[in-house]
Structure 1
Amino acid sequence: MEQFIWNWLLVLISLLGLPAIFAWGLTTVNRHTKANLVNRYGINSQVYLGCLGIVIHELSHLIMAVIFRHGIQSVRLLKLPHLNQTNGADDDLVLGYVNHTWSQASFYQSIGNLFIGVAPIFGCTASLLGLDAWLYPGLAQAIFKIADHPFDPDWAGSWLALTTNTSSWWQLLLLLFLTILIVIGGFDLSPADYQNSSLGLVTMLILLTVATAIFSIFDQHAGQILSVITSFGFTVGLILSYSLIVSLIIMFITKLLPLRR
């Protein structure tokens, strides 16, 4: 029983806990950044500086909605928001959208709501990891060396990969620029995203509990399964950690910019 509880906690922390904590932190920070940009450069500035992230955000929703066989009603990967100050209509502040429907009678489609809601977190994480592998391979290798053994990370090997597989200045500058475009617009989960995720959360908790109980009982491969799960969670956590650091720096920089007159 003790082993099952330990395995269950590792699975929940790796697959749900870490992404949820970072999602909350990144959403909070990047909302402040967007507010700073809007106050200083107008409502469209958040789109200009977060366009790539917004597109990845909506594409992530769309891909998951298709995978879980939801009915796609309408899609807009990127749009400029506007204030309806003249005709008294509601403000249209969304930067993109994926409207979809599902059958509540379908277990598969219902649990898909969780994956669809949090998809931008993993979509943006995968995009950043891909950019690292392309523009700064040493950074990607360093992340994997730490994440491969989360309870005994290879710090020396990670540092060696980071310092020996360096990139040119323009690659680093391009990586920084694209990272900024992604973190500003991509990681901000909307209230609708959280609400959508909650629809499948209880079902997912039940599934993870049952799955953990099964591989804990038949523990011949339990160690290997847990190693894969924790490595995945740690990799996501590392990417989201530096995304949060970049987001915090951007938030403070935009806070220091002069207000519009």
Structure 2
Amino acid sequence: MKSIVFDILKISIIQVVYTLGIIVGFGFIIGLIEKRASYFIQRAIGFKGVLITGLIGTPIHEIGHFLMCIIFGHTVTEVKLLRPKACKQDGVLGYVKHSFNKNSLYQNIGNFFIAIGPLVFGSLTMFLTMKIFLSDSFNKLYNFLLNETKLVHIGGEESFFDIFKSIFNEVVKDIFNTNNLKTINFWIFLFIIISIASHMALSKADIKGGISGLIAIYTFSLILSIILNLANFNIHYIYSKILVFNIFISVFLIVALIFSFIPLIVNLILYLIKR
């Protein structure tokens, strides 16, 4: 009996930490990078630098929140995709106000996904932007990522740092090559990527709202584990599937993290030139 209870508690924690912890971790790192990038651009050309990238980045950020609100049944009461004038007074470029039924487990779970909406939607939009403007580079990177995911899944001995390094090298090789640098598509792509990555991080309000969602997710995971155990379902099978998902999302977020370095480097160069 103790073994069963321990398995249930363990798999519930694994489901939450493995599946969501990595998203939170990457979100935190991307947030730190964004803060430094914002600091450099403001020092270089002032708040207008943040506003220029915000023309694309802020609506993408808020749409990420909005879509998750719809998916998880929250009532959206007000949406401001961009506040170019008002933000000069309060620093808020955009927002999504919403309400939900506190007695609904599903809607409580939604709080977490609404919080990370900008990270998820921003990453997807960056990949889509690459596919549209740099299709050949996208196809090469996509095939590389598929192969990398398979290698990790079948038991490769690469460390996380090795995986990050190999993906980083591939991104640089596929995107920043001489053929791309000669095209207008590359520079359009670069501006869009910088805009999205500069406004993809989670705000304090996002993080605060996501905490209650994490609690609800663990509760749901615990209930699900109990039900599956009572039904004599192989609980370790779920663990293996979570591991596969974790590998995939890790590779996906590594690329998003690498993309977030682009505005940091560009803004740092502008800052050094200005100084």
Place the TM-score, normalised by the shorter chain, in its bin.
0.7 to 0.9
Tell me the distance in 2 between the aligned counterparts of 1:127 and 1:249: 15
Alignment deviations for residues 172-226 of structure 1 (CA, whole Å, 9 cap, x no partner): 555444322221112x111110111112211111212333455567445853x44
Which of the residues 112, 137, 161 maps onto 2:110?
112
Which of the residues 79, 84, 97 maps onto 2:95?
97
Q: Greater shift after overlay, 197-206 or 132-141?
A: 132-141
Contact 1:44–1:81 at 8 Å: present in 2 too? no
User: Taking every aligned residue pair, what percent have the same amino acid on both sides?
Assistant: 23
What is the CA distance between 1:41 and its match in structure 2?
A: 1.1
| Residue 233, structure 1, aligned to residue 246, structure 2 | yes
Contact 2:72–2:110 at 8 Å: present in 1 too? yes
- Matching residue of 2:70: 66
Contact 2:11–2:235 at 8 Å: present in 1 too? no
Structure 1 pair 184–209 and aligned structure 2 pair: CA distance change class (3 A): same
Structure 1 pair 9–106 and aligned structure 2 pair: CA distance change class (3 A): closer
Q: Greater shift after overlay, 73-82 or 24-33?
A: 73-82
| Residue 20, structure 1, aligned to residue 18, structure 2 | no
TM-score for the superposition, normalised by structure 2: 0.74
Q: Greater shift after overlay, 138-147 or 207-216?
A: 207-216
Tell me the distance in 2 between the aligned counterparts of 1:46 and 1:127: 19
Contact 2:15–2:242 at 8 Å: present in 1 too? yes
- Matching residue of 1:206: 219
Q: Greater shift after overlay, 205-214 or 71-80?
A: 205-214
Secondary structure at 1:49 match in 2: helix
Contact 2:79–2:96 at 8 Å: present in 1 too? yes
- Paired AA for residue 147 in structure 2: K
Question: Where in structure 2 are the equivalents of 1:209-228 lying within 5 Å?
Answer: 209-212=222-225, 214-215=227-228, 218-220=232-234, 222-223=236-237, 225-228=238-241
What is the CA distance between 1:230 and its match in structure 2?
A: 3.0
Tell me the distance in 2 between the aligned counterparts of 1:153 and 1:216: 28
Secondary structure at 1:94 match in 2: coil
Alignment deviations for residues 142-177 of structure 1 (CA, whole Å, 9 cap, x no partner): 22332346433689xx99xx79xx796245555444
TM-score for the superposition, normalised by structure 1: 0.77
Question: What are structure 2's unaligned runs of at least 5 residues?
Answer: 159-165
Higher helix share: 2
- Matching residue of 2:197: 183
Alignment deviations for residues 77-102 of structure 1 (CA, whole Å, 9 cap, x no partner): 12226577xxxxxx311111101122
Tell me the distance in 1 between the aligned counterparts of 2:155 and 2:131: 20
Secondary structure at 1:105 match in 2: coil
CA RMSD of aligned residues (A): 3.3
- Count residues with an aligned counterpart: 247
What is the CA distance between 1:73 and its match in structure 2?
A: 1.6
Structure 1 pair 153–75 and aligned structure 2 pair: CA distance change class (3 A): farther
Contact 1:14–1:234 at 8 Å: present in 2 too? no
